[in-house]
Structure 1
């Protein structure tokens, strides 16, 4: 069994289209995933499966579409990949809430920084299947736009660290 982390894109936790984490956990259990646990109400779920990453993603996306009546994007990473992203963080000395890992579906495009705009004092580094972004003044004030973000979802490094810990415990 492989430990996986699924990161949902554009999950509204407070209004229309809301997906409570208890419902997400139930969807995962019904899909046959094991040792299902969610982390904070922003679409993070950890579980075990014998399926390959693409099968796990397709299964979860279909079940979410059946539940919500619309597509909900899902990025899936193995426990090892999440741990690897945490280890590769080029901004490890910065506060974890100021560094985001932007996880994308599939491989990064040939030039993942093409079209980036609004950069001020933010720093971007390319990872394996993620971009790392350091927001020294916080993400809320940033005008940074990264076009590849439409193919992924971001989590701060505090969340990535917790997900790495949780997924490592999947046996």
Structure 2
């Protein structure tokens, strides 16, 4: 399989926002995508969308809202963009490393101020382009670095994936 885009749906199958992966694949195909697949049940869609990828992402968001009643962002990257983000990861071979894919590029001053914050768990943060690179030295389970804090400080939202999942998505996109 070869996918032109990796689309990450924010915060599904947690907190009551159910999204069956089989239905996600069907919706993507109904919207005209080909080479459609998913990886694990956390909103990872691989496909080749028709036409403009941004327009496809917005149509997918609307279809999910219409069918499931919740609003979730679809954040897409090419496999090469995610591979580059992995290559750019500044914290070495961190066992609890994450990439947080943002919906836009934050203001540089806001990004610098945000990354200087201490969230209490020794987190290391760096923004490169439209990706927030995170190392959770004690694991992500108890961090006070929440999606709401990220969105408020940076003015853009996003969704995170650990480095292993990010690398697997690139591999699967082939």
TM-score, normalised on structure 1?
0.86
Unaligned 5+ runs, structure 1? none
1:103-134 CA deviation, whole Å, 9 max, x = no partner?
11022233225454524421111222111110
> What does residue 134 of structure 1 align with?
135
TM-score, normalised on structure 2?
0.84
Superposed counterparts of 1:27-106, under 5 Å: 27-95=27-95, 98-106=96-104
Structure 1 range deviating more: 37-46 or 116-125: 116-125
Structure 1 range deviating more: 138-147 or 100-109: 138-147
Q: Secondary structure at the match of 2:111?
A: coil
Unaligned 5+ runs, structure 2? none
Distance in structure 1 (CA, Å) of the matches to 2:32 and 2:170? 21
> What does residue 150 of structure 2 align with?
148
Distance in structure 1 (CA, Å) of the matches to 2:112 and 2:121? 15
Q: For the aligned residues, what is the CA RMSD? A: 2.1
